[in-house]
Structure formats: structure tokens, C-alpha cells
Structure 1
């Protein structure tokens, strides 16, 4: 059943890409009178940004320093709010004027920062959508990756391919709590085994989002500092790619990766883009990952998290069944 579902969604995804029909489920409205921006995502929740908040450094994290430990955290001079807004912006089509308008309005980075778009081959349809901001002065590249766009079927296919086994074991652990006592390596081995069955029956797919991302990151040979960030699927991809390339990552509402890690390494080996010696090194595990996990977020409950995890509240719990707590706009983080 799973294989047939994947085949059906993959076919629809190919047709969608062929016809270049990719409706966005995110939009923003600008009120020039009050100088406010309202970002609406999937018709569920929205985020209101006033003029005083348009410069990320003006988000007064000092006022809420005691709210969460992560609020005073900075990575290469950027706050956690900066990374949240960069992850939010990744949902917009980087080839549209709206993307550049919103980017210019929200971010007043120093002059040494510039928007750098990846090569066409790394952001074509059916692959992960992302953009890069680069500072030559700091030799820093920040790569923001889009999460699941409900209007892009290839994103849904990637979710299913990447996390299906982890989701099954997560549900089973709720029904049979003793599964939680298993060592992580046991669950990870079983996930890898079930995934290998797809290759036995020739039901595998060689196209994975994180391959194009790692290819792009590895091409930045002259860039010393690289940080990856994203929300939901984008956060998961940021954590995976960051671990594979040994760079830090900041995820928001991303699924866990502990149990699915052996599967990722096996996929890298099969695509011949994986160094066996490097893969056996424990440093490849995503220890440098940071994941912001809101309460009542079902997506963040999938798998077990690696690295540092900051749990935060969700101010839209009354809409939890509508996935509001998973939306980047809903949880309150250092605002």
C-alpha cells in the first residue's frame, strides 16, 4: 500500500513539475499606513510584524532573556529570531518579487551580507528549495531551506520517503510503551532494514532532497563558516545536511533524526556520495544541531531528537488539531 501511494504521489509530482504549477500556501500583505507586514501561512495562523520589529536586532530578546534559555543564544552574531525569520522567508518563491521585497523589509543586515542564489541545478523543481546569504567579511554562509509546501507534491513525497518508518515506530511506541526502552541503535537498525526491503523489490528512489543540499554546501569550499536553518521538513534537512557536512544547524519544529540516521548514511552510500570512513566516525551524528520544539506539535514528535533541544510554548493550543502549533508563526519564541 505504501509503495503504491508513493508511486501515485510521485506521478502527480512529476505532472505538477512538468506543467510548472506550484501554488504557494503562504502570502504576505503590507500595510503602508501603519508600516506593518502580515504573513499568512496555510490559512491557519498569521504573523504580524510592525516597523519597530523589521530589524531582527530590534526584536528585544533582552526583555525575554529569562523566558527560554535559547533567547540569549547567538550563532555567528545572529540571534535565534534572525534564524526563525530566515527560515520563514524560505517558504516564499525566491524567483518572485515578493521574496526580495520581504527580504529587504525584514532584514537590515550589514553591507557585507548579500543574497546569493544557488545554481539552477540545485533549486530546480522536485528538489529542496533554499537560498543563501553570504558575508565575505565574516566568511559566513547561511542557508535557509523551505519546509513542506502543501501546494508542492514533491515535498509531501519527500516527507513520506524520509520519515515514514520513523513515524510507524513512533506510533508503535505509543501503543506499546516498552518500545521506548529499546536502545536507539536497535530502532535505527530496524528502520534501515525495512528501508532496504524497498531496494530488494526495486521500489526505491534515488532522488533525495538532502543530496542536492549537501552537493551545494560541499561546493562552498572557500567558505569557512556555514550554518543551515529551516522549519519542519526544512529543519530536518538542515540538521541532516549539517551533520553530513559537519556544519551547525538550527531547526524549527523539525522531526527527529536519531532513529533514521542509519538510513540516511545507507542512502548516501548507495548514491556513491558517502565516505565509509567518514560515516563510521561518530562526529557525523548531528550533535551540533539545535531544534526548537513547540508544545503540541505532532511533527516534532516523530523520531527522537539529536543535539540541543529547546522546548517552547504554543500560544495557539486551541487550534492544535489544525496543526497551528507546528506553524512557525504560531509559537512564541523570544518575541
Structure 2
């Protein structure tokens, strides 16, 4: 009673005692299973059966392992590609913060340039580390040999080992489960403690056998002891070498004090120090330290320079050869005979098809859905003429182009309201008001110089690189769009970046929108078209872009939403034009025919004007018959079959 128990009865059995007995029983069963397996393998039939079972299991696990390796390799490849694109974009952003022409107009240009140059080595150090580690992860993922992912595999092994054996690893808490024992039961208590001690020893011994079983693929027996022995050996060798060098230097110093240093000994000491340095270098290379400025990163820098030169050269070519503002129409004549001839030329009934036995006649030219779009009386063709007129280098050239295109029509009372500040604004634009329809149009000039080409590169360099690589290695669609948008936004360094080139234009558009309300349309060609679309989405204003790049991957960079692009933007996209293929177009996209053979020809404003005239006609009855560009375009063979693509 009260803590005493009879010697013939069993001692009290608490929860921890039951747990201990269960572990001992499991260890005994495991040991018996090993002995039984050894007896089976002692026979030829048993070994043959074991080999067949091993071969079947090996084939199954090999397929599963290959599948896992493919998935992990593809994941590591995506990681490398993301870091590659991020590195490209980040380095180019720092370059633009210093050398972009529009950045020099900023009040803090000098401070920004100095800060960017100071941060450049730090950025290179950071990029080199993450790039080397990512490339190493990708290479290791492709390696099928065991231990190819030491750090990753070790961490995974620790987690799996804990999940497998967490119950065996738990230390029993016996303090709360021991029954009280009085002085009269000391002899029985000693026997109980000896029994517990004996059983605990067996438990630890057999649990050790359980946790270090040879068939556990995640364990490496004696690895810690081998590592410690190797480290002790290396430390002893280094210490002996250091003592030898110190003794040699001490002897040389003593001989030097008395002027008895032989030349051969001095040379020998230098060679010994050089040899020690080489050994140390080789030893360091054997270590798996984080690599900084390794071979992969040096190749990346070389590739960055080459790709940048290619993109700069192509942008410079586009910016140099794109022209506009020189499109001339003939003298205005709205006589019935001339209008009739023009309509027959452009919209003659020259083709027919048979459907269900009935003949349907139609125009030989295309009739686009955008032809019927009207912005309170302004057609898409009117806006295309204005997008071309803004290419004039001076105010007089722009006004002359407007007179040639609108005087004599019902819109001849137009008023030239404003244009950009030619000395400070990097983006050229003009504002025109049409009292007859109470509409204001802001036309934005596109790429017309090397400076404009640099601005193109600034906004769309990152997505251009991603799309160019995606042609050969399709990975862009494997990444979430929201992730790519955030990656290209470069919010990480937005604080040190200069104000965008379109800042003054955006401020003017906001003021105009507040003044005229919904009676505003923004239009432009090429870069100007993308800027017009961006400002239209930002200010919730109707915008028409002619051959402008897309915006859906650049939403974060311009701080706009895909919904606003969808609701307010119309893009005219000639086939074979490569500029609208940059990024991804949103909103209403009207693809139009291009009869010219080259992408540069399809990108020009004259292609838009002539194709829209031949397809939509001109309700304002302008005289197009004398325009040489449209005459030449009309005589080109179509050669634009949608079925070919």
C-alpha cells in the first residue's frame, strides 16, 4: 500500500514504460527480420529471388527518380532564366539612369549618376553570387550521380529522417511517472532501477541499430568521424608546414643578421612560399565556397555586352530610318466627277463569291471593323493623318501638314493649341482643337532619332530580351503574368531612376483632360503610339496607337491596369510589322494588311495611311490621286494571304 508492492507482482507500468516496451519489441522484431533475411540470402534461391525483386524495384524507382529530376531540372531552369532576365534588366536600368539623354534634364542628375556608379560594384557582387548559385543548382539538377545536390539533399535527408523516426528520437520523460517508494522498499526499488537501466541500455543499443540501418538511403555511416579525421589530418599538415616555414624564416633572419645568407637558400625560401601559396589555392578550390565572379557570370557579362550592342544597333537603325510628316495630298477638289472616280478606284465592285447558289459581290479591298469607329466625328484615318503630321521637326512643318490634310474639309477650322517645349521636353507632341466637332487631339511623335531609340530600349529592353530568348527556349508562358509584370517593373530601384521622358506630356494630358472632359483623343505612331496608349489608360481617355508596342507586360513599369488598357486603347497593327510584337497588345487590336515586303516598310506611317484609305475610303473627299506613295502602294501585289500564317 502507498508505494509498496509485492516482489511477486509486476511493477507499476506508466505510459513511458509502455512506450519503452513497445520500442524494445519493435527493435526485437526488426532484429529477427534481419536474421530471417540473412538466412534466406544464404541460399541460391533466396539470392536469385532477392535480385529479381531488387531489379523490379530499381526500374520503378529509376523512372520515378528521372521524372522528379526532370521536374526539378525544369524548375531550376526557370529560376536561372528569371535571374538572367532580372540581371539584364537591372544592369540596363543602371546604365539608362546615367546615360539616358532625357535623364540629363533632371535636377538631381549628378547625384543620381554618382549614386548609381557607387552602387554598381555592389550590384555586380550581388548578381554574381545569385547567378553562380542558380547556375550551379541547374547543373547539379542535371547530374544523376548521388550527392550531386549535397546541401539540398542533406537538408531533405534530415527532414525525412525526422519524419520517419520522430517517435524513436523522443526522449522518455520518466520523472513524472515514477511511483513513490518508501524506505522499506529500497531493495525492491534498486532491483527495479537495475531492470530499467538494463532495458534502457538494450533500448538505446537496438534503437541505434534501427536508426543506422544500412538500407536507409539517407544515412551515411561514419561520415562525421571521417570528416573529423580528415580535418585533423589537414590541420596537422598545415601546422607542420607553417612550423617549417617559420623555422626556415627564423634561420634566414638569424643568418641575415650576421651577413651569411646564401643566395640559394633565399631563392629556396621564395619557392617554398610560392609552393605553399599554390597548395592553399588548390585547397580552397576544392572547397564548395559561394562563387563570386565565376565562369558563368563572366560569360553572362560577355553575353550582356553583345546582346546590348545588337539591340542598340537595331533600335538605332529603326530610329534613323523611320520618317514621317512628308505625306502630301493633292489640292482639295470635292467635285462629283473626281469623287466618283476616286470611289471607283478604291472601292470598285471587282470580286464576287457564290454562296448557296447565289452570287455575292464585294470590294476587292479589305473593309476593317475599325473603319466604322468614330470619336465624335473623327475617324481612324483622321487620327492617322495627325499621327504622321506630328513628325514635323518644327511648328511650321506641323501646321503646313495640318493645312494640307484638313483645309477644305468640314474640319478646316482646326486650331493649333500647343506643343512640347523644344528645349527641355524629350517627347515631341502637339495639341489640336477641332471646333466643328468639339474634339481635342493630342498627337505624340514616335521614334525618329537615336535618342528616341534609346527611350524605346529603356521602356521595353527587359521584355524584348525575354521574348527573344523565348523564341528558342519557350519559358515565358510558364511564368505567371503577374510575376513577370512585377519583375519588369523595377520598383527595387525606382527611387534612383530619373523621371520618365513622358512626364511633361502626362501632366499636360491630365490638365487637358480636366479642361475638356471626354472630348479628348490621344494618338501616336510607334513609340508615340505606346505612350499615347499608356497615357490614355492612365487618364481613362480614348487612345489610338499605330504600330505601337504592347503594354500588358509593362503594366507595372507604367503603373497602369490591364482593365484600363482594355477599355480605352485601340491599336492598328500591320501584318509583318515587328514593333507591335514587342510586349503584348491589349485592348482592341485591328490587324491590317501590309503589301510591302519588309517589316520596316510595314512599320511606316505611309503604310497605315494608304492601307486605311484603300480599305476604309475617305468620307472627307480629300484628293489622294496625286500622292506618289499611295500610287506605288496600290500597284504592289497583295501577297498577304492569311492562310499562309
Q: TM-score, normalised by structure 1?
A: 0.72
Offset of residue 53 of structure 1: 8.8
Larger relative helix fraction: 2
Equivalents in 2 of 1:69, 1:217: separation in Å? 28
Residues 297 and 326 in structure 1, CA contact (< 8 A), matched pair in contact too: yes
Whether the 8 Å contact between 1:209 and 1:237 is mirrored in structure 2 is no
Q: 2:399 corresponds to which residue?
A: 100
Match of 1:157 among 427, 441, 454: 454
Residue 13 to residue 328, structure 1, CA distance change in 2 (3 Å) = farther
SS in 1 for 2:535: helix
Q: In structure 2, which of residues 595, 619, 624 is the aligned counterpart of residue 315 of structure 1?
A: 595
2:525 to 227, 231, 234: 231
Matched, 1:140 2:439: yes
Cα distance change of structure 1 residues 285 and 314 upon mapping to structure 2, 3 Å threshold: closer
Structure 2 unmatched ranges of 5 or more: 1-90, 106-316, 348-362, 615-645
Aligned partner of 2:498 among 205, 209, 214: 205
**TM-superposed deviation, 1:162:** 1.2
Closer, same or farther in 2 for the Cα pair 1:100/1:165, shift >3 Å?
A: same
Looking at both structures, which has the greater relative contact order when contacts are Cα pairs under 8 Å and sequence separation is at least 6? Answer: 1
Question: Is the counterpart of residue 2 in structure 1 residue 88 in structure 2?
Answer: no
Cα offset, 1:295, TM superposition: 1.2
1:82-121 paired onto structure 2 within 5 Å: 82-95=382-395, 97-108=396-407, 109-110=410-411, 112-118=413-419, 120=421
Distance 1:259 1:287 in 2: 17
Q: 1:139 to 1:162 in 2, by over 3 A?
A: same
Match of 2:511 among 219, 222, 245: 219
CA contact (8 A) 1:287 1:306 kept: no
Q: Provide the rounded CA distance (Å) in 2 between the counterparts of 1:189 and 1:8.
A: 23
1:178-199 CA-partner distances (Å, limit 9, x unpaired): 423544323212212xx23444
* Inter-CA distance 43–135: structure 2 relative to 1 (3 Å threshold): closer
SS at match of 1:116: strand
Aligned match of 1:329? 606
Alignment-derived partner of residue 306 in structure 1: 586
Which protein has the larger Cα radius of gyration, Structure 1 or Structure 2? 2
Deviation, 1:62, is 8.7
Distance in 1 (alpha carbons) for counterparts of 2:539 and 2:584:
21
CA apart distance, 1:7: 6.2
Instruction: Write the distance in 2 (CA, Å) between the matches of 1:210 and 1:162.
Output: 11
Question: Using the alignment, how far apart are the partners of 1:131 and 1:42 within structure 2?
Answer: 19
For the residue of structure 2 that corresponds to 1:133, the secondary structure is strand
Q: What is the CA-CA distance between 1:286 and the residue it aligns to?
A: 4.8
Q: How far 1:81 moved relative to its partner?
A: 0.9
SS at match of 1:142: strand
Residue 196 (str. 1) matches residue 496 (str. 2):
no
The 2-side partners of 1:228 and 1:163 are apart by 21
RMSD of Structure 2 on Structure 1 (CA)? 3.4
- Cα shift at 1:258: 0.5
- The answer to whether the 8 A contact 1:242-1:286 is kept is no
- 1:71–1:334: 8 Å Cα contact kept in structure 2? no
The Cα of 1:209 is off from its aligned counterpart by: 2.8
Task: Check 1:330–1:179 CA distance in 2 against 1; reply closer, same or farther (3 A cut).
Answer: same
Question: How many Å separate the matches in 2 of 1:287 and 1:53?
Answer: 38
Q: Deviations over 1:49-87 (max 9, x none)?
A: 334699xxx786993685222122222211111111100
> 8 Å contact 2:328–2:404 — kept in the other structure?
no
C-alpha displacement at 1:154, in angstroms? 3.2
Distance of 2:388 and 2:479 partners within structure 1: 36
Q: Equivalents in 1 of 2:404, 2:412: separation in Å?
A: 15
Work out whether 1:76 is the aligned partner of 2:376.
yes
> Contact 1:139/1:223 (CA < 8 Å) preserved in 2?
no
> Does structure 1 retain, via aligned residues, the 8 Å contact 2:533–2:543?
yes
In structure 2, distance between residues paired with 1:198 and 1:70: 40
The one-character-per-residue Cα deviations of 1:144-195 (angstroms, maximum 9, x if unpaired) are 0000112xx4322221111111212221322222423544323212212xx2
For the residues of structure 2 that align with 1:182 and 1:51, how far apart are their CA atoms?
Answer: 55
Residue 274 (structure 1) aligns with: none
Report which of the two has the higher share of strand: 1
Residue 468 of structure 2 is aligned to residue 171 of structure 1: yes
- Summarize deviations over 1:247-287 as a string: whole Å, max 9, x none: 0100000000001011111xxxxxxxxxxxxx6x7754453
Instruction: State the match for 1:289 in structure 2.
Output: 569
- Aligned equivalents of 1:47, 1:136: Cα separation in 2: 24
Specify which of 223, 232, 247 is matched with residue 541 of structure 2. Answer: 247
* Secondary structure of the corresponding residue to residue 590 of structure 2: strand
Alpha-carbon shift at residue 48 of structure 1 (Å): 6.0
Decide which moves more: 4-13 or 287-296: 4-13
Question: What secondary structure is seen at the aligned counterpart in 1 of 2:583?
Answer: coil
Counterpart for residue 186 of structure 1: 483
Partner residue, 2:134: none
